[in-house]
């Protein structure tokens, strides 16, 4: 179910543009509001829905899920750290879902640009950039040679 933007609610902050893995959320140069340039390429990850501070992004339901006359409203609640889905079917039935979207406060996760640039020596290790700090561990778990099975010789 691809996303679309309520232009009256969007303030053009660009959060959805930055977070979209499919690079399909763009800012219209004339209106300065976001829009989904290619709904067919939407991964339906809803990262943009969760990231939008204005709750300006919604989801267009597929016909098997929410036939004509339906509405699907997605609301991000920063205080409760939840995302709520309100689905109204065309016969008036309503379903509400609420799920937690994170376990840490908003703004508490460091951006990759806040970390020091990895050194050249870091390329020789098996750790990815900023590991193990970003995994909240002291070091990656590793097997010692005596834990490895001896193969048939
Ligand atoms: Fe991009 Fe995901 Fe939003 Fe689709 S749901 S527009 S892929 S961020
Ligand atoms: Fe508009 Fe929301 Fe995207 Fe910001 S994150 S540009 S308010 S749709």
Is 43 an active-site residue?
yes
In a domain, 107, yes or no: no
The per-residue pLDDT for 14 is: 96
Task: Tell me which residue has tokens 């990895």.
Answer: 118
Give me the phi and psi of 109, to 5 degrees please.
Answer: -90, 125
Residues in the chain: 153
- For ligand 2, atom 5, the nearest C-alpha belongs to 52
Q: Quick one: pLDDT at residue 48?
A: 93
83 lines ligand 1 (CB under 6 A): no
Which residue out of 37, 41, 43, 80 is catalytically annotated? 43
**3-state SS of the chain: helix, strand, coil percent to 5?**
20, 20, 60
Kindly report the number of other CB atoms within 10 A of residue 59's CB atom: 21
Q: Please, which residues have CB within 8 angstroms of residue 83's CB and are 6 or more apart in sequence?
A: 46, 49, 50, 74, 75, 76, 77, 98, 99, 101
**Ligand located closest to 33 CA:** 2
Q: What is the pLDDT of residue 96?
A: 92
Domain coverage including residue 128: 112-147
Same domain as 141, residue 91: no
Q: 29: closest CA among 38, 21, 17, 40?
A: 17
Q: Is residue 140 part of a domain?
A: yes
**Closest protein CA for atom 1 of ligand 1:** 20
Q: Is the dihedral of CA 51, 55, 57, 59 positive or negative?
A: positive
- Answer for the pair 17, 34: CB distance below 8 angstroms, yes or no: yes
Ligand 2 within 6 A of 20 CB? no
Cα 17 to averaged position of ligand 2 atoms, centre (Å)? 8
Residue 77 and residue 135 in one domain: no
Collapsing DSSP to helix, strand or coil, 81 comes out as: coil
- Say whether pTM exceeds 0.85: no
Residue 153 lies inside a defined structural domain of this protein: no
Query: What is the model's pLDDT at position 101?
Result: 73
How remote is the CA of residue 11 from the centroid of ligand 2, in Å?
6
**pLDDT for position 65:** 60
Continuous segment of H or E residues that includes residue 26:
strand 25-27
28-53: per-residue pLDDT in tens? 999 999 999 999 999 988 889 888 98
87 and 24 together in one domain: yes
Total domains present in the chain: 2
All residues at 6 or more sequence positions from 57 whose CB lies less than 8 Å from its CB, including other chains:
3, 4, 5, 6, 16, 34, 48, 49, 74
CATH number at residue 68: 3.30.70.20
Mean pLDDT by 10 residues, the chain (153 residues): 91 96 96 95 89 88 68 79 83 88 76 86 87 87 78 61
């Amino acid at each position: 179910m691809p996303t679309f933007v309520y232009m009256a609610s969007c303030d053009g902050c660009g959060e959805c543009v930055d977070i979209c893995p499919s690079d399909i959320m763009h800012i219209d140069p004339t209106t300065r509001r976001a829009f989904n340039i290619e709904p067919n390429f939407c991964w339906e990850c809803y990262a943009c829905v969760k990231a939008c501070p204005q709750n300006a992004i919604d989801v267009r339901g597929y016909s098997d899920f929410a036939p004509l006359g339906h509405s699907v409203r997605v609301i991000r609640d920063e205080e409760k750290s939840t995302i709520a889905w309100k689905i109204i079917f065309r016969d008036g039935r309503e379903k509400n879902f609420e799920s937690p979207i994170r376990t840490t406060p908003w703004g508490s996760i460091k951006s990759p640009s806040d970390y020091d640039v990895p050194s050249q020596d870091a390329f020789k290790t098996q750790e990815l950039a900023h590991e193990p700090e970003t995994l909240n561990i002291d070091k990656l778990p590793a097997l010692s040679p005596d834990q490895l099975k001896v193969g048939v010789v």
